[in-house]
Amino acid sequence: MGRATEVFLPARGMGHWAVCLSVIMTKSPRARALLLAVLLSATAGTLPGQGPLQHWKAATALPAPQAFAAGVGVQGKGWVIGGESGAAALPTVRILDPASNAWTAGPSLPKPRTRAAAAVVGSRLFVVGGQISGSPSASTLELIQGKWKNASSLGTARSSHAMVADASGLYVLGGLTGSTPTAVKSCERFDPVLGTWSPLPDMPGPRFGHSAHLAGGKLYVFGGFSTSETQPLRSTWVYDVATKVW
């Protein structure tokens, strides 16, 4: 069934939502959040070299099923990192080259990891948190000369969190933590020069399975869940990076 996709326009007053196109998509709230993150990463509603967003078309399928993976663009290629297939977490990294429309294998993670987040600061690729051996992890990895290396750990182990990056570092927001995973509202920032994590002001409430986007010095958090995956949220929060206020 066709579903409307909406894009948040922060530049107009306090911001508003606009319907931009229809897509064929699952009813899964998480899938909606992931799609929104992809749309928001486009510049002024365009994809590089493809003009305005008008319609969707199929690209080359993944070599194998891979859900709850971390996705990120690295030097013009799409990286799909970790995730799960069935009940098993994956160490798999796959790279899509848009020029050849083909997938290749990337450097495998040291351990299977799912529900993590990935982002690039400058030319540095990081994978943060996620579930390892069934529990939320504080582990941070950086890809250095084709190999994954341990970086400073998060202050709070977490999975199903959101993460964005700017030129100054990484921002990690919410997620699930604990042996019986519980949603948190805590946030952290990673300084790649110092190599350390520091706490940020808490979000207004706990959140997991959400999306985030950074634009114009403002950090936006969209949807997700606060307690149960059967009760998705529609609220949007905004954080001012300069004043450190939600």
Q: Is the pLDDT of residue 79 over 80?
A: yes
Backbone angles phi, psi at 29, to 5 degrees: -60, -35
Strands 182-191 and 169-177: antiparallel
Q: Residue for token digits 């199903």? A: 160
Q: What is the mean pLDDT of residues 202-223?
A: 97
DSSP code of 156? S
Lowest mean pLDDT among 6-15, 151-160, 166-175: 6-15
Percent of the chain with pLDDT over 90: 73
* 3-state SS, residue 5: strand
Looking at residue 2, its pLDDT comes to 46
Q: Residue for token digits 């798999």? A: 92
Residue range 62-75, pLDDT digits in tens: 999 999 999 999 99
Helices (H) and strands (E) in the chain, counts: 1, 23
Question: Residues with Cβ < 8 Å from 97, sequence gap 6 or more?
Answer: 77, 103, 104
Residue range 93-143, pLDDT digits in tens: 999 999 999 999 999 999 999 999 999 999 999 999 999 999 999 999 999
Mean pLDDT of the chain: 86
Lowest mean pLDDT among 91-95, 158-162, 225-229: 225-229
Looking at residue 57, its pLDDT comes to 82
Percent of the chain with pLDDT over 70: 78
Residue range 38-50, pLDDT digits in tens: 444 443 444 445 5
Looking at residue 72, its pLDDT comes to 97
> Angle CA(55)–CA(59)–CA(62) in degrees, nearest 5?
140
Looking at residue 52, its pLDDT comes to 59
